[in-house]
Amino acid sequence: MCKKEKTKGLAAAALLLSIGQIAAARADDTPACVAKMSEYVAELDQLLSTEIPRFQSDKIGTYRQLNRMHFPFTDCDGDPLLIEASKSRFFRGIGYNPRSRGYIVDFSNGVVRLGFIYHANERRGESNGAGWVDK
């Protein structure tokens, strides 16, 4: 092997090593995500059980603010995150969109509906907004 090939090989090895270290550094933040989801569920349950606004447009902002405070979730495994979300008293279900590989999680107290979407291919959760329940 000539000196030039050896240098290329070392450079390639160094590049692969650095990519592996970057991937490992950001690969899994699941424990922090689960803790953050647990906090979100506790605050959500408290809000949904105490505030039932009766369709006053200015009151929906409280729910939107809660979602802005806690989302997005990044670098999280889906199963632990979805299990933690399902512990809410106001959990209404999880839907799945195979096209986008997204799990849609819904919460509701019968007056307000809110939730989030977990994108499995991106390992990311984002708010799905808040709105009034149609009756």
- Residues 67-114: pLDDT tens digits? 999 999 899 999 999 999 999 999 999 999 999 899 999 999 988 899
68 to 7, 32, 53, 97, 103: CA distances (angstroms): 49, 17, 19, 23, 19
- The H or E element that residue 53 is part of is none
State residue 21's pLDDT score. Answer: 43
**For 49-61, how does the pLDDT look when each residue is reduced to its tens digit (9 = 90+)?**
986 656 666 678 8
User: Could you give the maximum distance between any two Cα atoms of the chain, in Å?
Assistant: 78
62 to 4, 40, 65, 67: CA distances (angstroms): 63, 13, 5, 9
CA–CA dist 113, 120 (Å, integer): 23
CA–CA dist 71, 36 (Å, integer): 9
State residue 20's pLDDT score. Answer: 43
- What value does the mean pLDDT of the chain take? 81
Average pLDDT for 14-28: 45
State residue 135's pLDDT score. Answer: 66
- What pTM did the predictor assign? 0.74
Burial class (CB in 10 A: 0-12, 13-18, 19+), 5: exposed
CA–CA dist 131, 106 (Å, integer): 11
Average pLDDT for 30-47: 94
State residue 62's pLDDT score. Answer: 86
